[in-house]
A and B are shown apart, each in its own frame.
Chain A
Amino acid sequence: EAQVTQNPRYLITVTGKKLTVTCSQNMNHEYMSWYRQDPGLGLRQIYYSMNVEVTDKGDVPEGYKVSRKEKRNFPLILESPSPNQTSLYFCASSLMNSPLHFGNGTRLTVT
């Protein structure tokens, strides 16, 4: 089944403890991206990647890192999480000129 898989679905952590949210797609998509969603603010793009080893900042990249070493994976890294990064995160992927496919989301709480 074609899908975008995010892990974990839920994560509670403490301030400053490095974490990684994984995103994997099985559709051979070149494009992948990360979003965060907060009440009243809609979906905001964090980072995107046009292809392997090609990444760029979205609208809210501060406090996040990404890597794209393989086509199928696009992990989101929080080196030193803070409470203001508590949010619902979505990963998405697409072929060129095609609709985005979204994962089911990761709800992160930083205490």
Chain B
Amino acid sequence: DAKTTQPPSMDCAEGRAANLPCNHSTISGNEYVYWYRQIHSQGPQYIIHGLKNNETNEMASLIITEDRKSSTLILPHATLRDTAVYYCIVRGANAGGTSYGKLTFGQGTILTVHP
């Protein structure tokens, strides 16, 4: 019961914006959207998360559609070091929900940034 769908791979030119989509059509009201990335075989690194409003931090922006069924992670000026696997997951907000503990990461999107 995969909860998110991502394209397997994407390319981006260095210096341009990278827009990574994620579909989460079965998301429920108290589930957050989280994005992580994994460079080579290192431990995944947190990027950003949101509930319904768009979010921005020093790494990226997260745009969530009004119906919350999909989102886009934006890396505004991609660099070669942004080449990684990007994972989008949904997670419940509290321990009482079934989607808080049991998490499904899927295969993610391999983003390749080229010169």
What residues of chain A have their CB less than 8 Å away from a CB belonging to chain B?
A: 4, 30-31, 33, 35, 37, 40-45, 48, 50, 56, 58-59, 88, 90, 92, 96-97, 99-105, 107
| Interchain CB contact under 8 A, A45 and B103 | yes
Secondary structure at chain B's binding surface: helix, strand, loop or mixed?
Answer: loop
CA distance A90 to B93 in the complex (A): 22
Which chain A residues lie closer than 8 Å to B100 at the CB level? Answer: 31, 50, 96
**Of A40, A48, A96, A99, which one neighbours B102 at CB under 8 angstroms?**
A48
Give the segment of B17-25, B64-72, B74-82, B104-112 that binds chain A: B104-112
Closest to B30 in A: A97
| Interchain CB contact under 8 A, B105 and A44 | yes
CA distance A45 to B44 in the complex (A): 13
Which chain B residues lie closer than 8 Å to A90 at the CB level? Answer: 43-44
| Interchain CB contact under 8 A, A105 and B42 | yes
| Interchain CB contact under 8 A, B105 and A42 | yes
* Cβ contacts A to B, 23 pairs, < 8 Å: A4-B43, A31-B95, A33-B101, A41-B107, A42-B108, A45-B105, A48-B101, A50-B101, A56-B101, A58-B103, A90-B44, A92-B43, A96-B94, A97-B32, A99-B46, A100-B34, A100-B36, A100-B46, A102-B43, A102-B45, A104-B43, A105-B41, A107-B41
Which chain B residues lie closer than 8 Å to A105 at the CB level? Answer: 41-43
Residue with the highest number of chain A CB atoms closer than 10 Å, among B49, B87, B102: B102
| Interchain CB contact under 8 A, B45 and A96 | no
What residues of chain B have their CB less than 8 Å away from a CB belonging to chain A?
A: 32, 34, 36, 41-46, 49, 87, 93-95, 100-108
Known A-B contacts A43-B87, A50-B95, A90-B44; the reply to A99 vs B49 at CB < 8 A is yes
**Of A30, A101, A103, which one neighbours B46 at CB under 8 angstroms?**
A101
